Structure 1
Amino acid sequence: MTTPILLDHIQQLVADFGSSQTGLADNVLYYESQKRPISVGVSTPPEMRDLLAQIGWCRVYVDSVEERLDIEGFRMAGEPKADTRLWEWWQSNRLDEVSSYAHTEALIHGRAYIVVSAPDPSDPLADATVPVIQVESPSTMWADIDYRTHRVKRAVRVIKGDSPFGPPVPDYVTIYLPDSTTGLLQGGADGWTVDFHASHNLGVVPVVPLLNRSRLTERYGRSEITPELRSVTDAAARTMMNMQATAELMAVPQRLLFGIKPEEIADDPTNKRKVFEAYIARILAFEDPEGKAQQFTAAELRNFTEVMQELAKQAATYTGLPPQYLAFASDNPASAEAIRSAESRLVKKAERKQRIFGGPWEQAMRIALLVMDGNIPRDARRMEVLWRDPATPTFAAKADAVVKLATASTPDGRPIIPVERARIDLGYSAEERRQMETWDKDNPVTQLAALTRPAAPRFSDTPDDEPAAEAA
Structure 2
Amino acid sequence: MMYRGIEYLRTKLATHEQRAKMRYKHYAMKYNDAQIGITIPPEIRQKYRSVLGWCTKGVDALADRLVFREFANDDFNVNEIFADNNPDIFFDSAILSALVTSCSFVYVSKGDDDNVRLQVIESNNVTGIIDPITGLLTEGYAVLNRDDFGTPTLEAYFTAGRTDYYSKADANVTSITNDVEYPLLVPIIHRPDAVRPFGRSRITRAGMYWQKYAKRTLERADVTAEFYSFPQKYVTGISSDAEAMDSWKATVSSMLQFTSDNNGDKPTLGQFTTASMSPFTEQLRTAAAGFSGETGLTLDDLGFVSENPSSVEAIKASHENLRLAGRKAQRSLGSGLLNVAYIAACLRDDTPYLRYQFNKTTPKWEPLFEADASALSTIGDGALKINQALDGYIDKEVMRDITGIKGAE
TM class, shorter-length: 0.7 to 0.9
Q: CA deviation at 1:101?
A: 1.6
CA contact (8 A) 1:74 1:83 kept: no
Q: CA deviation at 1:137?
A: 0.8
Distance 1:146 1:34 in 2: 35
With structure 1 as the length reference, what TM-score do the two structures score?
0.74
Name the aligned partner's letter for residue 67 of structure 1.
D
Name the aligned partner's letter for residue 404 of structure 1.
D
Name the aligned partner's letter for residue 298 of structure 2.
P
CA contact (8 A) 1:111 1:221 kept: yes
Q: Sort the Cα spacing of 1:340 and 1:46 in 2 relative to 1 into closer, same or farther, 3 A.
A: same
Q: Sort the Cα spacing of 1:63 and 1:397 in 2 relative to 1 into closer, same or farther, 3 A.
A: same
State the SS of the aligned residue for 2:5.
helix
The reply on whether 1:134 has 2:119 as its aligned counterpart is: yes
Q: Sort the Cα spacing of 1:61 and 1:258 in 2 relative to 1 into closer, same or farther, 3 A.
A: same
State the SS of the aligned residue for 1:16.
helix
State the SS of the aligned residue for 1:398.
helix
Q: CA deviation at 1:334?
A: 3.6
Q: Could you give the per-residue CA deviations for residues 64-95 of structure 1, whole angstroms, max 9, x where no partner exists?
A: 1111111000012xxxxx67933332221013
Distance 2:6 2:259 in 1: 87
Name the structure 1 match of 2:376.
399
The reply on whether 1:172 has 2:187 as its aligned counterpart is: no
CA contact (8 A) 2:210 2:291 kept: yes
Q: CA deviation at 1:408?
A: 4.9
Q: CA deviation at 1:120?
A: 2.6
Distance 2:275 2:348 in 1: 71
State the SS of the aligned residue for 2:163.
strand
Distance 2:267 2:396 in 1: 87
State the SS of the aligned residue for 1:17.
helix
Q: Could you give the per-residue CA deviations for residues 31-66 of structure 1, whole angstroms, max 9, x where no partner exists?
A: 222222223211111232121212221111011111
CA contact (8 A) 1:406 1:415 kept: no
Name the aligned partner's letter for residue 122 of structure 2.
S
Q: Sort the Cα spacing of 1:162 and 1:422 in 2 relative to 1 into closer, same or farther, 3 A.
A: closer
Q: CA deviation at 1:145?
A: 2.0
Which is higher, the Rg of structure 1 or of structure 2? 1
Name the structure 2 match of 1:355.
331
The reply on whether 1:31 has 2:23 as its aligned counterpart is: no
The reply on whether 1:114 has 2:89 as its aligned counterpart is: no
Q: Sort the Cα spacing of 1:409 and 1:60 in 2 relative to 1 into closer, same or farther, 3 A.
A: closer
Q: CA deviation at 1:324?
A: 0.6
Name the structure 1 match of 2:368.
390
After the TM superposition, which residues 119-268 of structure 1 pair with which residues of structure 2 at under 5 Å, given as runs? 119-121=111-113, 128=114, 130-146=115-131, 151-162=136-147, 168-186=150-168, 192-195=171-174, 197-257=175-235
The reply on whether 1:323 has 2:299 as its aligned counterpart is: yes
User: Unaligned regions of 5+ residues in structure 2, if any?
Assistant: none
Name the structure 1 match of 2:12.
16
Q: CA deviation at 1:148?
A: 7.8
Distance 1:309 1:391 in 2: 27
CA contact (8 A) 1:251 1:300 kept: no
Distance 1:98 1:383 in 2: 20
Distance 1:273 1:43 in 2: 24
Name the Cα RMSD after superposition.
3.5
Q: Sort the Cα spacing of 1:249 and 1:400 in 2 relative to 1 into closer, same or farther, 3 A.
A: same
Distance 1:330 1:135 in 2: 39
Q: Sort the Cα spacing of 1:112 and 1:391 in 2 relative to 1 into closer, same or farther, 3 A.
A: same
Q: Could you give the per-residue CA deviations for residues 166-216 of structure 1, whole angstroms, max 9, x where no partner exists?
A: xx442211222111122231266xxx3134x32113111122211223221
Matched residues, number: 399
Q: Sort the Cα spacing of 1:420 and 1:320 in 2 relative to 1 into closer, same or farther, 3 A.
A: closer
Moved more, 324-333 or 93-102: 324-333
Q: CA deviation at 1:119?
A: 3.7
Name the structure 2 match of 1:465.
none
Name the aligned partner's letter for residue 346 of structure 1.
L
Distance 1:351 1:54 in 2: 31
Which of 277, 283, 287 is the equivalent residue of 2:252? Answer: 277
User: What is the identity percentage for the equivalent residue pairs of Structure 1 and Structure 2?
Assistant: 23
With structure 2 as the length reference, what TM-score do the two structures score?
0.84
Name the aligned partner's letter for residue 371 of structure 1.
L
Distance 2:386 2:402 in 1: 18
State the SS of the aligned residue for 2:141.
strand
User: Unaligned regions of 5+ residues in structure 1, if any?
Assistant: 77-81, 122-127, 262-268, 438-472
Q: Which has the higher contact order (CA 8 A, sep 6+)?
A: 2
Q: Sort the Cα spacing of 1:425 and 1:320 in 2 relative to 1 into closer, same or farther, 3 A.
A: closer
Q: Could you give the per-residue CA deviations for residues 392-439 of structure 1, whole angstroms, max 9, x where no partner exists?
A: 44x21233234334555744794663345435543235xxx5xx31xx
Q: Sort the Cα spacing of 1:163 and 1:12 in 2 relative to 1 into closer, same or farther, 3 A.
A: farther
Q: Could you give the per-residue CA deviations for residues 256-276 of structure 1, whole angstroms, max 9, x where no partner exists?
A: 456799xxxxxxx99876554
Name the structure 1 match of 2:51.
54
CA contact (8 A) 1:141 1:158 kept: yes
Name the aligned partner's letter for residue 347 of structure 2.
V
The reply on whether 1:97 has 2:89 as its aligned counterpart is: yes
Q: Sort the Cα spacing of 1:162 and 1:367 in 2 relative to 1 into closer, same or farther, 3 A.
A: closer
